[in-house]
Structure 1
Amino acid sequence: MSYSMNKKTNIRNLSLCIIYTFLYFIFAISITLLYPMNSYGIPFWPAAGIGLGAMIRMGYSAWIVTFVGAFCFSSIIRGAGIGYAAMEGLGSSMGVLVCFTLLNKHNFDSALLRVYDLWLLVASAALSSAIFSNINLFFIYYSNSDVSPEIYINDWFKWWTGDALGVLILTPLVLTWTDKSHYVFAKNGFFLRGTLYLTVFICGYLGLIVSSKVIEELRGLIVMATFPSLAWAVLRFSLRDVVLCIFTASFFSLVIFGYQTPQSIESLMFFMWMTALMALSIHIAISSNRLMLIQLNEKNEQLTSLIETFPDGIFLNDGLGQCQIANRAGLAITQLNDKSDWYGKTERQLAVSSQSDDMRLLFEYCSESTEMAFKNGRLMRGERKIKKKNGAARYLEIRKFPRLGKNGDRVGIVTIVRNITKQKSITETLRQSTIQYQKQVRLLQTVLDALPAQVGLFDKNGSIVAVNRSWLYKCQHACTKYSDVKAVCGEHLTGCPQLTDMPISGYVNARNGIFKVLHGEAPQFVYEFSETCSNQFAWRKMIVTPIDPKLIGSSGVVVMILDVTQSKISGDIVRQRERQYRAITEHSPDMILRVGPSGRILFANKALTSFLRRNGFGLIGQKVIELWGDEHVASLWNDAIDRIINGAQQRIELVFETNDADQIGRRVFQAYMVHDGVDNEITILVVIRDITEIKEKEDRLIESHKQLRLFAAESEMVREAEKKHIARELHDDLGQLLSALRFDIGLLKMQYAASAPELEPRLIKMMDILERAIECTRNAVDHIRPNVLDIGLDAALEWLRDDFEEMFGIDCELQIKGEIPELSEEQVTVLFRIMQESLTNIAKHACATSASIQFWSTNNLIYLVVRDNGIGFDFEGVDRNKKCFGLLGMEERAIALGGSLTIETKPGFGCSTMLTIPISSKNESS
């Protein structure tokens, strides 16, 4: 490959190449003087050896040295014409140029140089020299009539073509066998390696026999076959192997050609000189190159040891983009292990050979960025995202530092690959934290803006740092220059409208208080003041509190100005009402006290202290149960307290005695839970009221109600007896008279029907009237008191059911479960009347289509249930004091017998009437 050297180094290399050329001349002259007839082909092979060394040291400029050496030898030593010498020089130099062009894709290293590379070197030199030599000979033949075509074809053309063909055939075979076997024999001694070379030459000679029919000069072919082995021995092994190869080839040549030509010794000497010349030329070139490589390797080792200390991946590429140096960090990042995987390869080649898609994309990106860096001549930076095998992502930062020469030539490029996954994670975390912080700031600002109070944040110098919307509105109202928050921030507190609108004394107090808190002289400052805003009087309360220096980077205060006008007004109202309530409480005739959770008195009004003949302050702190020594009162009080704590309002009534006999009476305790507003403490308010007169009136009213109910029951019994008497009178007396009258009318009809026919119609009419009178009398008797009641309750219920169905057309089902017990006449009458009233209500109001009657009894109770499927009604909403005499009568009848009447109904679901009375005998009833 081509190394970039400074001017001094290039002069030194050129001097070395000139020395190679002079050495070449010395050997060439000596061979020509000894063997002038065998100087054909000499310009090519030494020139190739010199060209190899110069190529390794100087690159493309080596072909100039090769051309000069071959041209000078052909023209000066051999005496060839300028044209022929130029063609030989051009052929030799073009071979070196083509070889270097092919080898320039790989780094020259004896450990990495391939068989194919060295074969290209030899083959390209031989072919190019043969082609240009034949072209030159063709022009000589065309311009010189003395040269016959047979000489040209049989001598020159076959000689050069044979050389080229021999190189093409023998070089791959020799190099392949040598390269395959030298590793095996390298450590097994001199003799075995000599045997290896001898075997190679024998195999090469077998290949020459195949082409011997068309090639007359085998001497040049042996030289050509020996040269690759020599070059390979120099590259792979040492100078001892070169010497061994020379003597092996000499021995082989002596055996093969010694008996074929009379000049065998001469040929052997020529061959030994020839091979020694080539070996020495190559060895000098390679040795010199190795010295330079050692120096470069020392510098590379120093550079490599330096870049190995870097945690980032570093790659050094030459001007062609081929990688020369890479540190461990870079190899770990790019997943490259062996040196052969990356050494001498471009990033494009690494992308093609990469097994991972991510690595392939990475190398393609590096290749593109390299071209851009060389094109723009400046630093290129980019980032790539790579996925690991476990699915996790890592981020790589790639930087390209191009190095260009004075003429813009590409000298090299430095690639730095940094794993920024942690930085990305930290950056992402920081970004998320910043976003979260901004959200919190916006949330805090939103909360501050939602506050009705004016809130401002001041730094240690008294300048505004932040304000809320209410503060800004106040500033905008005072001055139009405060258009937004930014215009307000930075304003000193002495110029804030919040302070300047105060009276002079208030302004001074507020300013001094704020500075005291700022300087740490006071933990807090609270100041109330009044002002007139928009022709309205208002009270303000300023609260100044220090803040944590971490929030704004230094000490500061928060100034909050609250509108306390309503609270001031509310406080005055509360105090006024408190005075009113206290006046009402103190002048109330009821005894009022407030008790704490422990049962001790917290407050007692004047009425209670007067009643107990105690001082009000003496009652405070005393337990309530200690006011009365009665255990029954204490038990009632404790039970009431437990129920009140559970949330129920209690009303208890008890009688207690005082020391004064004139104050004996019943008192009612009414207690319920209240909150007094101090630490949410639960207290009990107790109101004691003297209701002695009320209780006496209540007792008299209850007694009068009992008497009225007894009187009503007695009246009902008397009325039923009267009805029974009237019904019996109607049935017995009036009924008999009407029956007798009907009998007499019937006799008159029979006596005078024939003699006085004009009387018959009148008698018939009288008979009809009499029948109606009898029917009316019977109905009246049944209405007043049906005679069926005398038969029994079951017969009475059945008669009432049948009469109801016949009169109103409503289906009615009667169920009597079990036997009917023996009942008094009063019980039978009450059961009958309640059932009769229930059926009448169904017919009048229920709009029912069916009804049912159920009757059963237990050991001590009788049950009568009447149901219908009518429209029902709202029983709770019925005003029972207005036009509800039927229901009241039914209830009173049930209560008179010690029973109860239950009515269950609601609109749309019919009605159910249930009567329950105790069983009593006839004697008990009477």
Structure 2
Amino acid sequence: MGLARLPSRPRQRFPRSLHAQLILSLLVLCTLVAGTSAFVLLEHARESRIAELDERANRIADLLGQSLAQPLWNVDRDAIARQLNALQPNPEVVRLTVTATNYGVLADARNAPMPAPDRQVVRVRPIEFAPPGDVPAEKIGEVSVVLTKALAERGFETARAAVLATLALVLAVLYLTTFLLTKHLVREPIRRLEDMVDRIASGDLDSRCAIESSVELGRLASRVNVMADRLRESTASLRESERKYRSIIEHSLEGFFVLDRNGKLCEANPAMVQLLGYRDIESMKAALAHEVPAVRVLRPPFSAATTAHLFSMLPLTGKIAGLEIQLTRADGSAVWCQLNARGIRYDGAGPRYLEGQLTDITDRKQAMEVLTRHRDQLAEEVRERTRTEQLLRHSREQLRQLSSHQESIREEERRQIAMTIHDELGQLLTAIKINVSLLKLALSQGADWKQKVADIGHLAERTIDIVRNVASHLRPAALNFGLLSALEWLVQDFTHHNATACSFRLEGREPALSDDRATAVFRIAQEALTNVSRHAHASHAEVVLRCVHNHFELEVHDDGCGFDVTKAVRGNSYGLQGMRERARMIGAQFQIESRDGPGSTVRLVFSETPENVGRGLPADNEFK
């Protein structure tokens, strides 16, 4: 089989010979390398000079900012002008300006007209005066330094021109030398090698190239001779391989086919004919090409839509691997197959043919569907069980933490009560005892006893107040008179002990609650106000108790800074957990509305009976 020589397309703007291409490529490469190197070196030198100029501007500005502090503090214009004039002779200095905070511009020394903004280096430094002692430094003005880049850039123009001239001369000499060498060593041997390769490509496999040297071109000629020998051997081997391939395809249990993009079946083996239920290959080709007579209509296995879909998948990876597809048999029944295919013979529009293999997986597909249904059911049960276990573990952990927190609170309350009794109540009782002893002594000596009696009465009143405060802390006495009285007392006590104003409002009737439920509602309101006092930084808070239909709502809201509720819950806020747990114990709905903005609201919805209140909001809106 001969290999046809493809005609080359005419190239108008690039040399056609390899010799000219090599010379031109070398010239371009050398030009790019040399030009880039020269440009990089010049730019590096220029940037170094500009960097030095920037550093000089920084040093001048820092020096003036430090040295002008004392003269500027004393408003000594002469001293300031002398320091500026000392730097003015520098040819790179354009302008030096000293500005006082309260007096404006005190000194302005100009050395040259102002250059363009892109040729300026401007530095502004504050001038601070540090009085003796620990008094902090005070900004009393600023100094502005303007330098020009013109002198730094002027020296590079001459160097750039000299480098470019030298580069052009070197490239010209290099081009001429390389042209003569490549013409003698490369161009002529390649031309002779091209003639011999053309003879081999035209089908003359007995032709051989003459080996003229041992360098690369000689080794290339040797490789061409070896290629001709192997091409002759591979031609015979190809015919044998084709015979074996035909035998394998014909006797294979898998269906092999070749399909073009128009839906025409070009090749198929007997296994595919049997898989799709056709009588022979010709009838299947006719069915796919829509050429079956009307007296016996056979449905094609590959519809037009299926064919278009398969060819649309090829541009992604060039092949189709393990695609499960449902085809139509000759009798109209469906068959599930696994398709492995690849595109062959590409042109401008993509692959012209689809070469593939079909495997019947109908039984496996049905079994997989049954297994998938069982697996999905099992996975759903496992997910539900896992979710339940996670909720239980989370609830148990929260209860453990809350219990530990409540125990620590109880211990803290016991410690506070013990300290109050020991430090305050004990001292008062000791003072009463001492005063009683002094009273006895005064009575026995006939001294004035009225003042001692007054002191004892005052100490007794303070003792009673401490006992009352301890008792109110343990359980407010107002709860004995109902939830409404307890909330009113709580608001008054909060207003008395905090800078935040607080008010209470009742809308509707008062709820009739048991002692335990009233105590839980009271503690939730108390904890909400405690959080307002500690964290809200609010100017006003309000407690509202309203009756809505057959249930009650308790709201505690403020105009404070608000907070991220989700972050607080994740951070194990025991106050929030305690309020939520108390609400759960009395069957109430607990909700917090807040964000990083103005205000937050704590809402508790409960009924007079211990039954659970129907939630007005989904569970995931409990904190938002």
**TM-score, reference length from structure 2:** 0.37
Q: TM-score, normalised by structure 1?
A: 0.26
Structure whose alpha-carbon radius of gyration is higher: 1
Q: Which has the higher contact order (CA 8 A, sep 6+)?
A: 2
